[in-house]
Chain A
Amino acid sequence: MKRYVPLLALVLLTACGPKQYHIATVSATGAHESLKFAEDTLDSTICGKPTAPVPPLKCTTVEQRRELAPLLVKAYQDDGTAQKVIHDWEPSTGARPDYAALLVQITKAIQTIVDALPTDAAKAKVTAAVNAGGK
């Protein structure tokens, strides 16, 4: 299924009006849900939580999590702005919403969070999955 999704996206992008609106919604929702999941995954590794990696594996310290909080504040600001730009878009006007740069910023934030995951196994798993995507 995954390999067909880019084609689906391209097909839908060639459409106009409501379909363009819908694909923009799906794209923004994908970014939003991915950011949430990356944060939730990070939080699940915080030392002392039942879900945290157990020694000898590393966990995420509260201080490390706190250092990432400003990045997440900015990412959720970008996320909210992207959602609003599309929400307020009126396709019938012919104008195009400008939210691509916001999604790129969210993508970078997610990558930073993935890089901060405490175990090599978790990083390798996500990296391999990302590299495999789209092939």
Chain B
Amino acid sequence: MGAISVATLIQWFAGYAPQIIAGGEAAIARISQALTDSGIEHDRATLLQNMQEAAAREQRNQGIADGTVQP
């Protein structure tokens, strides 16, 4: 990882992520689990779940943008 990646990670950990998720217990639980668990296969399972969630939310927001989904 280059300098940008390091800066981005620090930004996430020191700035946005811990604050914006404050109060989001489910989010905190998932990040905490990601912090403590080890093993590439477990990480890949987490990433796969993230991909599926991102796709579902992308689709929902496309529907909101199109007017076919009520926000």
Contact = CB atoms under 8 A, between A and B. Distances in A.
Interface of A: 2-3, 5-6, 8-10, 13, 18, 20-34, 36-40, 43, 46, 62, 65-66, 69-70, 72-73, 76-77, 79-80, 83-84, 86-87, 91, 96, 99-101, 103-104, 107, 110, 114, 126, 129-130, 132-134
B38 A32 contact: no
Contact of B15 (A28, A66, A72, A133): A133
A37 B24 contact: yes
B57 to A, nearest CB: 5
Contacts of A36: 24, 27, 53, 57
A87 to B, nearest CB: 4
- Determine which residue in B4, B18, B20, B71 has the highest number of CB atoms from chain A within 10 A of its CB, and name it: B20
Interface in B32-50: 34-35, 38-40, 43-44, 46-48, 50
A31 B17 contact: yes
Given A10-B10, A37-B20, A66-B64, 8 more contacts: A5-B18, A13-B5, A29-B30, A30-B21, A30-B31, A96-B2, A100-B2, A103-B12
Contacts, number: 177
B13 A6 contact: yes
Contact of A73 (B46, B47, B65): B65
A23 B61 contact: no
Contacts of A83: 47-48, 50-51, 54
Given A29-B34, A39-B57, A107 B27 contact: no
A76 B13 contact: no
- Determine which residue in A24, A38, A87, A129 has the highest number of CB atoms from chain B within 10 A of its CB, and name it: A87
B62 A69 contact: yes
Contacts of B13: 5-6, 8-9, 27, 30
Nearest to B62: A73
A76 B38 CA distance: 26
A110 B55 contact: no
